[in-house]
Chain A
Amino acid sequence: MRTLSPQDLLDLVDGAAIFSAGGGGDPETGYRIAHKLASEGYTVRLVAPSEVPDNAKIVNFACVGATTTVEYDADAAVKTLRILED
């Protein structure tokens, strides 16, 4: 398990975008998410698959839709995850 720095998150945006085939949503929104997480004091922890206990439950999360219209509302995204957890 490692904690990602704000720079790690910005590198993640640029690197993941290289594998995006020109989709995957706008990196500018990715940068905004990275800055906001840092300024609001959240910690991002990255865990290697080998470190995950076999009985752990792991949820998939994403946005779906046209690439031209995706905006991002963190509260609504968190609410979506919470409903799946319930």
Chain B
Amino acid sequence: MIPVELGGFNTLAAVDVAARCGIPVVDADGAGRSVPEVHLKVYTIGDIPLIPMVVADLHAKNIVIAKETADSKAAERIARVLAAEWDNSAYTARRILTGAQVKTSPIQLSLSKSMQIGKLLRKTVDPVKAVVKETGGFKLFEGIVDCCEQETEAGFTFVNIKLRGTRECAGSMFEFKAKNEVLVAYKDGKLAAIAPDIITPVHSETGKCITAEKIEKGNKLAVLGLPAPQKWRTSKGLDLWREVLRRSKILEEYVPIQQLHQFEKPNPSF
């Protein structure tokens, strides 16, 4: 078993099914982050097909097997349309990899890396700072939620959040847009980070992720920006993301987060 992505629920769902079936979990995943669409996996860059794919509703009363699809994107549409029909959610078991493929294709050792980050969150005095240092990322903003809009449609949750800066960000405004996952963020109207770089809202004190759909007006948040795995930064990886961003009306080209924040010293005290 291998999780398709890293996420607070989705990674554990794969771990759960593996444990219940008595099979080990490979310390790797298909994206090194969470992704909004099924075909957005590093396997698609390597042309490893998504099928065979089993799609079931949340109580496995309806089960559909996709044996062949035109491409991985077509498989995404099949899973998404079924999810939309079944109260916006579905399980998928799919894409059988060989042992040889798991050594090169997925993001390696990402579960042990995640556990290490989880331990840091639990044990350090300033978790936000510790996570930024460990991941080579940036604290993009800290502030209070001023405005949030949310809509669930066609198997996705769309969220727009606006923040008013506090502490070192006082006087600034920040905005981010999510389609299940946060895709783009702006500080004072200027691009602060864009997918595939990883933009994660966290609790400003505990450093723990607050998923976009649970954010409410008045919440105190920090927003982290972490560099995407290298595979996503290849031209083929960026092409996949560009297409997803365009469909969400995000027209900016990818700029690596390190470049956007090259003149900032993210960890002055370290």
A contact set with B: CB distance below 8 Å:
1, 4, 8-30, 33-34, 36-37, 42-50, 52-84
Closest to B53 in A: A84
- Chain B, 170-196, contact with A by CB distance < 8 Å: what is the 0/1 string? 000000001011110000000000010
Which residues on A sit within 8 Å (CB–CB) of B59? 73, 76
Closest to B29 in A: A16
In the complex, whether B240 has a CB less than 8 A from a CB of chain A is: no
10 A–B pairs (Cβ distance < 8 Å), ordered by A: A11-B122, A19-B226, A20-B200, A26-B8, A29-B9, A44-B19, A62-B92, A66-B155, A79-B63, A84-B94
Closest to B159 in A: A22
Closest 7 CB pairs of A and B: A24-B7, A25-B9, A11-B118, A27-B8, A15-B114, A24-B34, A17-B8
Which residues on A sit within 8 Å (CB–CB) of B116? 11, 15
Bound CA–CA A39/B156 (angstroms): 33
Which residues on A sit within 8 Å (CB–CB) of B97? 57-60
Contact of B34 with A61 in the complex, beta carbons under 8 Å: no
Which residues on A sit within 8 Å (CB–CB) of B63? 79-80, 83
Contact of A44 with B15 in the complex, beta carbons under 8 Å: yes
In the complex, whether B69 has a CB less than 8 A from a CB of chain A is: no
In the complex, whether B13 has a CB less than 8 A from a CB of chain A is: yes
Contact of B17 with A49 in the complex, beta carbons under 8 Å: no
Q: Nearest Cβ distance between residue B52 and chain A, in whole angstroms?
A: 7
In the complex, whether B144 has a CB less than 8 A from a CB of chain A is: no
Contact of B13 with A77 in the complex, beta carbons under 8 Å: yes
Bound CA–CA A36/B12 (angstroms): 11
Closest to B108 in A: A49
Which residues on B sit within 8 Å (CB–CB) of A22? 159, 178, 181-182, 199-201, 209-212, 215
- The segment out of B20-28, B251-259, B262-270 that lies at the interface is B20-28
- Chain B, 106-130, contact with A by CB distance < 8 Å: what is the 0/1 string? 1011111111111101100000000
Q: Counting chain B CB atoms within 10 Å of each CB, which of A43, A59, A77 scores highest?
A: A59
Contact of B180 with A60 in the complex, beta carbons under 8 Å: no
